[in-house]
Structure 1
Amino acid sequence: MKNNNHIRRTTLLCFILVLLSFTLLTQCKREKEVLVADTPRNGIILGFSQIGAESSWRKRNTQSIVEAAEESHIQLLFDNAEQKQENQIKAMRSFIAYQVDVIAFVPIVATGWDNILQEAKDAGIPVLVTDRKIETANENLYAGFIGTDSEREGRDAAQFILDKFSQIENRPIRIIEISGTEGSSVALGRAAGFRQGLDDHPEFEIIHSESGDFLRSKGYEIMSRILKEFDDIDAIYSHNDGMTLGIIDAMYERDLQPGSDIVIVTIDAEQAAIEALRRGEVNCVIECNPNTGPAIMELTKKLARGESIPRFQHVDEEVFYETDDLSSLEPRGY
């Protein structure tokens, strides 16, 4: 009898240990993959791969998607790729295995997606590209794109600098460009649009261009070095607010007044950049709207129903200037 009780106790203990191990394993997995909304399996399921959480803008973009999924009663399988393309591809394969209705992702770089997109197509799962564009051998591998018009942002930046220095003659205008992640469509577009805007004005010279990877720390590091290497900088064109804030820090360390000693144009329109614009540390802020969640969910519903969607859809964005009255501007929320 004692032996039977011992066996039962041992069996129960083993069961508890197995259950505890499974719970811990599931909890670790949930740190990477988050299910939002208690929608039954016969509801719409969206697999979403985000590139990371490198900035306030990116965090707000993620928040917008999570909130919109809840409001739309769409079950969300969310993955943070931590700035690695291989993590995104791995996540997308897991979405295919789970047989989600739609896959959406923010591509960290523009190329290298054809194989995984073909796998999704073979599985009958439509793919929505958002925020950053991609280059593929066959555009039919994905359903459509929604996000920013990065080339227009670049042209807006160029136009502001042209207007700002329109009264200066008989000398070149020297510009530093701090660009985003190399190979990302948004960095390529913002660079291309900027150069398009300056094409007919050879007196405006980009004397140095370097990737800051959209990181504040790299913006600071690059600007600290540039201020030692270059004299007579007229303007800085920064591809995002995070890098711009690092640039401002570096300028103050050299006793330079941002926005006055050097004109600064930045993209994103985070709250910190708007405040810098109010203080005169930045001269122009070009919005890149992170609140794409509602539009993504509407497109997801259409794709899940087998409907076609626009090939390219751009979100509404504004440009804020140093001469604007920003007193009535609502808080950005990011």
Structure 2
Amino acid sequence: MVLIRKKFRKQFGIIIFMILISSLIGCSAQKKDASQIEKDDGIIVGFSQIGAESAWRTCNTRSVQDAAAERGVQLVYANAEQKQENQIKALRSFIAYQVDVIVFVPIVTDGWDNVLQEARDAGIPVLVTDRKIDVEDQSLYAGFIGTDSLKEGRNAGLFVLDTFEHKREQLDPAKDHINIVELFGTEGSSVALGRAEGFREVLKSHPEYRIVYSKSGDFLRSKGYELAVEFLEMYDDIDVIYSHNDGMTLGVIEAMEERGLRPGKDIVIITIDAQQAAIDALREGKVNCVIECNPKTGPEIIKLAEKLAAGESIPRLQYVHEQVFYETDDLSLIEPRGY
């Protein structure tokens, strides 16, 4: 069956690829020409990304593309433009094209059972990255590599506790609680769920810390700005803003400054991603804590894909290395982020 598939792909792969990919919304490919495929017959990986909504996401995509090119892997890339239906359509095109491995960043946790069953029926292993999924049969995908969103949320909660433990003497003695605003990411995504859960896990035994406002900004700067305009109008005693990503945080900073507020001073700000813009804001004192979400996972993703294509097993769960940057650190030591 494998030999038949390889032969079929050599003869007709490029033609079929052009037909299938032209039907995808926002889809492009980084591919070899027919002579190269004939020469080395390298593996083909279908990679479905959720979109290009941020510098983080663009860096993540570039990391996978660069790693594939370096390893001689043919990468068929599809941009879902933030729509699950586009992503499912892309996965089905990868199956029809008979790629060796499918790699995808799931927009949300649910709704993948049917298309993953189709991939398994076709004998194509699937690697999930960045965001996790919830399926009835866990064997429908080979493994996950990406961020530990629960840990990110816990780190945010621990920073809040540590910060206000040291600021007790600066607080109004009549104030018996700390008001927290949370801007979470795409509803139903594993990263938004994990970052919210980890944060609450740390604070649950401290009732004096209250989340008074929690809404989705969909990981977008524009929505972060809109929500900030709303909650700044609703509340005049906010102590902490916990934002699930830098894009939303930058929107919040913009809205605060328009109102004459000092980000990072009048309100403590915690953000996740560690884009260059967030590190710059940390250096300027506009952000108090930046929690890294590492986008440069391409080399590990491609190595895992090669193992799967060779019929080898991979770890079921693999987290990437991430750091936390605090306002009290020697910020001159942080190297340029590249995104």
TM surpasses 0.5 = yes
Instruction: Find out whether 1:243 has 2:248 as its counterpart.
Output: yes
User: Does the Cα contact within 8 Å between 1:267 and 1:285 map onto a contact in 2?
Assistant: yes
1:172-197 per-position Cα deviation (integer Å, ceiling 9, x unaligned): 01000000000000000000000001
1:292 to 261, 279, 297: 297
Where does residue 128 of structure 1 map in the other structure?
127
Once the two structures are superposed, the pairs formed by residues 119-268 of structure 1 within 5 Å of their partners are 119-167=118-166, 168=168, 171-268=176-273
User: Does the Cα contact within 8 Å between 1:36 and 1:69 map onto a contact in 2?
Assistant: no
Deviation, structure 1 residue 123: 0.3
Instruction: Please report the RMSD computed on the Cα atoms of aligned residues, expressed in angstroms.
Output: 1.6
1:25-44 per-position Cα deviation (integer Å, ceiling 9, x unaligned): 89966961212355516311
Cα gap change, 1:44/1:138 in structure 2, threshold over 3 Å: closer, same or farther?
A: same
1:275 to 265, 280, 299: 280
Helix, strand or coil for the counterpart of 2:68?
helix
Deviates more, 1:112-121 or 1:169-178: 169-178
Helix, strand or coil for the counterpart of 1:175?
strand
Give the whole-Å Cα distance in 1 for the aligned partners of 2:264 and 2:146.
29
Where does residue 37 of structure 2 map in the other structure?
40
Helix, strand or coil for the counterpart of 1:208?
strand
Helix, strand or coil for the counterpart of 1:264?
strand
Residue type at the aligned position of 1:102: V
User: Does the Cα contact within 8 Å between 1:144 and 1:311 map onto a contact in 2?
Assistant: yes
Residue type at the aligned position of 2:234: E
User: Among the aligned pairs, what percent are the same residue?
Assistant: 66
Deviates more, 1:305-314 or 1:167-176: 167-176
User: Does the Cα contact within 8 Å between 2:185 and 2:218 map onto a contact in 1?
Assistant: yes
Give the whole-Å Cα distance in 1 for the aligned partners of 2:225 and 2:334.
28
Residue type at the aligned position of 1:69: A
User: Does the Cα contact within 8 Å between 1:66 and 1:76 map onto a contact in 2?
Assistant: yes
1:153-190 per-position Cα deviation (integer Å, ceiling 9, x unaligned): 00000000100001427610100000000000000000
User: Does the Cα contact within 8 Å between 1:48 and 1:105 map onto a contact in 2?
Assistant: yes
Residue type at the aligned position of 2:284: R
User: Does the Cα contact within 8 Å between 2:30 and 2:65 map onto a contact in 1?
Assistant: no
Helix, strand or coil for the counterpart of 1:194?
helix
Deviates more, 1:163-172 or 1:129-138: 163-172
Helix, strand or coil for the counterpart of 1:165?
helix
**Which structure 2 segments of 5+ residues have no match?**
1-17
Once the two structures are superposed, the pairs formed by residues 68-147 of structure 1 within 5 Å of their partners are 68-147=67-146
Deviation, structure 1 residue 326: 1.5
Helix, strand or coil for the counterpart of 1:40?
helix
Deviation, structure 1 residue 224: 0.5
Q: How many residues align?
A: 311
Residue type at the aligned position of 2:291: I
Give the whole-Å Cα distance in 2 for the aligned partners of 1:327 and 1:163.
23
Residue type at the aligned position of 1:221: E
Residue type at the aligned position of 1:34: A
Where does residue 14 of structure 2 map in the other structure?
none
Deviates more, 1:248-257 or 1:322-331: 322-331
Where does residue 62 of structure 1 map in the other structure?
61
Give the whole-Å Cα distance in 2 for the aligned partners of 1:325 and 1:295.
30
Using the size of structure 1 for normalisation, the TM-score is 0.90
Give the whole-Å Cα distance in 2 for the aligned partners of 1:323 and 1:36.
46
Deviation, structure 1 residue 279: 0.1
**Which structure 1 segments of 5+ residues have no match?**
1-23
Residue type at the aligned position of 2:224: G
Helix, strand or coil for the counterpart of 2:103?
strand
Give the whole-Å Cα distance in 1 for the aligned partners of 2:214 and 2:317.
29
Give the whole-Å Cα distance in 2 for the aligned partners of 1:36 and 1:286.
35
Cα gap change, 1:277/1:66 in structure 2, threshold over 3 Å: closer, same or farther?
A: same
Specify the structure having the higher radius of gyration (Cα): 1
